[in-house]
Amino acid sequence: MFSKNIKRLGVVVFLLAAVTGCKVGDPYERPDFDVLPEEYHGSLSRLDSIVADSLDSIPMARMKWIEFFGDYDLVSLIDTALINNLDMQRAVQVLEMSRQDLLQARANFYPSLGGGPGYTRDYRGFYHNNYGSNRGRRIHGENPPRSLYTERLSYNLGVSTSWEIGLWGKLRWKKDAARAAYMQNEEFKKAVQTALVAEVASTYYELLRLKSELAVAKRNLSLNENTLKIVELQYDAGEATSLAVRQTKSQKLRFEALIPQIEREYALQENRLNALLGREPQPIEIRGHLDNAAFNGNYNTGVPMELLQNRPDVAASEYELIASNAEVGIAQALKYPTLTIDASMGLDSYQSNRLFSTPAESLFALINGAIFQPIFQQRKLKTNYKKALARRQMAQLDFKEKIIDAVREVSDAMITLDKLEEEYVLTKERLNTTQRGVTDAALLFRSGFANYLEVITAQSDALDSELGLIDIKMQILLANIELYRSLGGGWQ
């Protein structure tokens, strides 16, 4: 008899294993998009020549942000932001919640277990003209009680378990969906870090720009003050008119008004950087100079296919598609039978003092299984399945759109950087020309061969050229940061 039971149990286990292996739904396969070109549109000629001449060029997206920026002060600020930034801390907590969901999904494969003491007392009420309980008739005959009485009294202590067998792969699909959600939040955390690193760096270089502009404004103000003194001396000597004095003074006031404007913007950028660092507004010591800010050009941009691994937002979009595919499997599995096995074991007695005194008489065990097959659910199961298919299709379209946007952003950054390099060369040449013009105008003015209008015009042109060069240098730095971010750098 024992061997027969073992054989039956083995058959049951085999059948359960066979049915459990029947996983409905389709495994995920990455869509074969035709939107990824072999190279980026508008690739940088500067980078192309570097790649051609250097065999050890570094893929830009794989560069650690510490190596990419290489500025000690900036690296220190980024380190502080990664620890204290509130958005970064939120992303960590979101990731932790999704990790707990994944652990919960894995635990669904195991049975649940519970237990404890119990007390049961069933009351019955009988009335003389209306009682039809067969058990009550056997106990009380034709003389039923006219008030509530205890029909059953039970003291029990035991454990119970319930186990849902993972038929049709439903539990595995739930685990796959939870894993995809966890990985999506992991990529979301990377994306937050990438954006944070880029924003801290951009704000830092903005402070360097304003610092350089403030120095230029003060230097030009000092130069214009000297010109005003000369014009006033000429006016006192009768060699210049009051109009010359007023126009020169107006030029001086223009230069002077730039200083509080720049100082105001500098303070606002300081506050912005402090907010990124997760702290209250306070002065920030910036020891660097914009002239010394530069990036290592020994890198390459790679190919668009690498965005699937390097861009956190693109990877997160693919994990969303993976989760949507798992949701389709779950919705499809819900249309098939569900098998649940319940078991309980313990002690049960109608008297509390006999619960442990006679355990052999109080011992009980119960095991049962149930198969539930949904038949008519008011079209809910079919509707949920069709909606899951539609959500998967939408996730696939979102994934495709994210890839297209990523390739476009890289192309935009490369074109911008390439053209800014050309513009920088021309602007620097213009600045050299205007600075020579200021020197020549000052010499001619002291010699009497140039009037005050030529001097203040030359100074104004030089100021515009110098500020313009600073602005283009700043745009080049920002374009480098944007190219690094758009390629997926900043999270390593």
pLDDT value, residue 148: 65
Kindly state the average pLDDT of the residues 152-160: 80
Sign of CA dihedral 84, 88, 90, 96: negative
Q: Tell me the pLDDT tens digit for each residue of 11-23.
A: 554 455 445 456 6
Q: Where are the alpha helices (DSSP H) in 347-379?
A: 359-362
Q: Are 75 and 66 in contact (CB under 8 A)?
A: yes
* pLDDT (average), residues 186-208: 94
pLDDT at 50: 42
User: At 51, is the pLDDT very low, low, confident or very high (cuts 50, 70, 90)?
Assistant: very low
Asked whether residue 430 carries a pLDDT value surpassing 80, the answer given is: yes
Instruction: State the virtual CA torsion across 378, 380, 386, 389 in degrees, nearest 10.
Output: -170
Question: pLDDT: is 151 or 400 the higher one?
Answer: 400
pLDDT, tens digit (0-9, with 9 covering 90-100), for 311-348? 999 999 999 999 999 999 988 888 888 888 888 888 78
Better pLDDT: 321 or 369: 321
Helices (H) and strands (E) in the chain, counts: 13, 6
How much is the pLDDT for 292? Answer: 87
pLDDT of amino acid 13: 46
pLDDT recorded at residue 461: 86
Q: For residue 128, what pLDDT is reported?
A: 47
Q: Flag whether pLDDT at 2 surpasses 60.
A: no
Answer whether residue 395 shows pLDDT above 70. yes
pLDDT in tens, 230-265: 788 878 878 778 887 888 888 888 888 999 999 999
Question: What 3-state class would DSSP assign to 363?
Answer: strand
Instruction: Report the pLDDT value the prediction gives residue 138, as an integer from 0 to 100.
Output: 57
Confidence of residue 9 (pLDDT cuts 50, 70, 90): very low
Alpha carbons within 13 A on the beta-carbon side of 208: 24
Residue 199's pLDDT band (boundaries 50, 70, 90)? very high
pLDDT average, residue stretch 385-392 = 92
- State yes or no: pLDDT of 417 exceeds 60: yes
Whether the predicted pLDDT of 127 surpasses 90? no
Which residues are registered as beta bridge partners of 164? 340
